[in-house]
Structure 1
Amino acid sequence: MNVRRLIPTAALAGAVALGATALTACSGAAAGTGGGNDGKVGVTASFYPMAFLAEQIGKDHVKVDSLTKPGVEPHDLEITPKQTGQLGEADVVLYLKSLQPAVDKAVALSGVKNIVDAATLTELEVHGSSGHDHGAEGHAEGEGHDHEHGEAGRDPHVWLDPVKYAEIAKGVGAALEKADPDHAADYKKNTDELVGKLTVLDTEFKDGLKNTASRTFITTHSAFGYLAERYGLDQEAISGVDPESEPSPARMKELQGLAKQENVSTVFFETLASDKTARTLAADTGLKTDVLDPLEGITDKSQGADYFEVMRSNLKNLQKALGAK
């Protein structure tokens, strides 16, 4: 199973001590509506999982714009000086530090006073690209491991663990209550409802993956460390945290052997990045391919219309690949 090292982060109370306004309805538009949103709190979210939280908790009291448009791979996002200027007009910025370097820089330059960093609302961990220790040798071979994300290599993909996503939701809800006290009761109610839905989703994953023929899954993108850790699985990534990085020949050979050893039936790819390496590995090993979506964005190719639908599709695909009983 995945071995983790816990990295202490800022306490929730400190992270939630924000001085003002909140979030907005999830759209794929560029940021920059700021104030003047028909009395609503204007929030700019960095990408889909953050925008979804804003929409679910803020509902009618907020208006949300997303920096990352639908179909854009968040890791590849580039922000223009104009967008950085527009970002400064937002009432609140909701982002996840270390996931998107361009966003980190833009937020630092924006001058926005009310910033919510989701990375401070839960405990981030260090995950390798798998549950097995490939050590320094793997890094030397250029497999794109977690060092790309700085800050002790902490894995930012927390939203793929419903329990950690719920912790972030509570922090965002608390921040909104403080920023917009007139609607605090509504934010509290909406947060409780969302956390309840995430608790149900967590139970579905626990029950659905309790008994499987295999505990190992292979995916192109090292995004599923938290999910694997939560449900006792081993993630083996072809690339590292960057879905577009090219794996070394040694890594491909290693995965071919692992697939046979661990009774792996499927190589997973995702909707926003190339499936070339996944299909190459599958062809070389006689395996099937399927989608495991890291939920970094929703498009018409997604296996669902929102976070919950796509996560349940992921569960179904994992159950099939792992031989759930």
Structure 2
Amino acid sequence: MNVSRLIPTVTLAGAVALGLTALTACSSSNAAGHKDDGKLNVVASFYPMQFLAEQIGGKHVSVTTLTKPGVEPHDLELTPRQIGGLADADYILYLKGIQPAVDDAVLQSGAKHTVDASKLTTLERHGTETGDGHEHADEHGHDHDHGDEAGADPHIWLDPVKYAEVAKGVGKSLEKADPGHAADYRTNTDALVGKIDALNTAYETGLKSTATRTFITTHSAFGYLAERYGLTQEGIAGVDPEAEPSPARIAEIHAIAKKNKVTTVFFETLASDRTAKTLARDTGLKTDVLDPLEGITDKSKGDDYIGVMRSNLAALQKALGAK
């Protein structure tokens, strides 16, 4: 048998199969860019983007998220099915700098409407503070942050003001992607921004007068929040919430806690509390949860973004000695 003569036939058969698959995928959407059920097929990278898409899209969107509840989003690895699904999405909402695998997949997806939330507000650099207003680097010489190639902090959703800016940008982009429902997207955006503005007011009022302005966290995700409300974030070991602090850093944190009357070490819901407990044991501090809101689980102190952010406010008020 001449094997070489079979190769074109197999290749052609494969091409036909791929073509039929493509036609099947195309048939699931109509000419207006909607699925057969009339809804816009939206893919969100992780929970903060999912919340925006669902709240603003409302009944006109069908939202799927690449990051399942309980999965730490920074280390997400996409399946071939998820990567392939991006090409069929009508609209993709992601945040560059949080999930490298998502950034690469979106870039290669060829999807018509892709929105990078980091472009809808202004990003800044935040590091682990030393207590005197200066950032310091870890033992490898890198700043304790993560984000895009410029080192910008991507945790914009933890600042209600910036999150509201992103919400407005998402609303406008959905209007362009699905102009037939633009009026509803505007109404939903206004309603959501109103809730986020009320959240901002609650933080301003609730943190206006406190016994200390410094808080310690295992995950350096709260730089924007700290800056917005005049607080100082002290990260134990940078962006890895499960990293073991060095003896030198423990001693430094102990000195900062004593100087600034800090009472609490915060850890998060999606990671081990081992680091926080280690530091608390060595420094005599309490532990509590400050949720970076990268995912909602049954352990979350709230059903959605607004609920968890209000729980975070209560935890900060208690730890900082709000008056």
Fold similarity call, TM over 0.5: yes
Give the structure 1 partner of residue 95 of structure 2: 96
Corresponding residue for residue 261 of structure 1: 259
**Inter-partner Cα distance in structure 1 for 2:296 and 2:132:** 31
Cα deviation, residue 256, structure 1: 1.2
Indicate conservation of the 8 Å contact 1:144/1:242, yes or no. no
In the alignment, the residues of structure 2 paired with residue 263 and residue 56 of structure 1 have an alpha-carbon distance, to the nearest angstrom, of 40
| Structure 1 residues 1-325: aligned runs within 5 Å | 36=35, 38-130=37-129, 132-133=132-133, 138-141=137-140, 145-146=144-145, 148-325=146-323
Q: Deviations over 1:55-81 (max 9, x none)?
A: 000100001000000000111111122
Summarize the Cα distance change of 1:144–1:127 in structure 2 as closer, same or farther, 3 Å threshold. Answer: closer
Preserved contact between residue 143 and residue 248 of structure 1 (Cα < 8 Å): no
Residues 197 and 135 of structure 1, relative CA distance in 2, 3 Å threshold: closer
1:221-252 Cα deviation digits (max 9, x unpaired): 00000000000000001121232333332212
CA distance in 1, matches of 2:120, 2:239: 21
Q: Choose 127-136 or 181-190, whichever is displaced more.
A: 127-136
What is the Cα deviation at residue 141 of structure 1?
5.0
1:37 deviates by: 5.2
| Alpha-carbon shift at residue 257 of structure 1 (Å) | 1.1
If the length of structure 2 is used for normalisation, what is the TM-score?
A: 0.86
> Per-residue deviation at 1:149?
2.6
Gaps spanning 5+ residues in structure 2: where?
1-27
- The DSSP-based 3-state class of the residue aligned with 1:217 is strand
Query: In 2, are the aligned partners of 1:143 and 1:251 still within 8 Å (CA)?
Result: no
Using the size of structure 1 for normalisation, the TM-score is: 0.86
Deviation at 1:318, TM superposition (A): 0.3
**How far does residue 269 in structure 1 lie from its aligned partner after superposition?**
0.5
Tell me if structure 2 keeps the 8 A contact 1:243–1:273: yes
| Distance in 2 of aligned mates of 1:142 and 1:66 | 35
The Cα offsets for residues 117-169 of structure 1, whole Å up to 9 and x where unpaired, read as 00000000001122645556x333567612x4342210000000100000000
Q: Secondary structure in 2 aligned to 1:126?
A: coil
| Inter-partner Cα distance in structure 1 for 2:119 and 2:243 | 28
Q: Does the Cα contact within 8 Å between 1:43 and 1:63 map onto a contact in 2?
A: yes
1:83 Cα deviation after fit: 1.6
Seen in structure 2, the aligned counterparts of structure 1 residues 221 and 132 have a Cα distance that, compared at 3 Å, is farther
**Which residue type is aligned with residue 165 of structure 2?**
E
CA contact (8 A) 1:37 1:63 kept: no
Equivalent position amino acid for 1:238 in 2: I
Letter in 1 for 2:67: T
For the structure 1 residues 256 and 94, does the alpha-carbon distance in structure 2 shift closer, same or farther, using more than 3 Å as the test?
A: same
Equivalents in 2 of 1:246, 1:134: separation in Å?
Answer: 22
Shift, 1:314, TM fit: 0.2
SS at match of 1:87: helix
Identity of aligned residues (%): 69
Residue type of the alignment partner of 2:119: T
Q: Cα–Cα, structure 1 residues 132 and 297, in superposed 2: closer, same or farther, change >3 Å?
A: farther
When residues 185 and 321 of structure 1 are mapped into structure 2, their CA distance, relative to the original with a 3 A threshold, is same
CA RMSD between the two structures = 1.7
Q: Provide the secondary structure at the position in 2 that maps to 1:123.
A: coil
1:290-310 deviations in whole A, cap 9, x for unaligned? 000000000000000000110
Larger Rg: 2
1:18-69 Cα shifts (integer Å, max 9, x gaps): xxxxxxxxxxxxxxx9852511001000000000000000100001000000
Change in Cα spacing, 1:150 to 1:117, as seen in structure 2 (3 Å) is closer
* Contact 1:218-1:266 within 8 A present in 2 as well: yes
- What amino acid sits opposite 2:229 in the alignment? Y
Q: Identify unmatched segments of 5+ residues in structure 1.
A: 1-32
Check 1:51–1:135 CA distance in 2 against 1; reply closer, same or farther (3 A cut): closer
Name the aligned partner's letter for residue 174 of structure 1: K
Q: Which has the higher contact order (CA 8 A, sep 6+)?
A: 1
> Residue 87 of structure 1 contacts residue 110 of structure 1 at CA under 8 Å; is this kept in 2?
yes
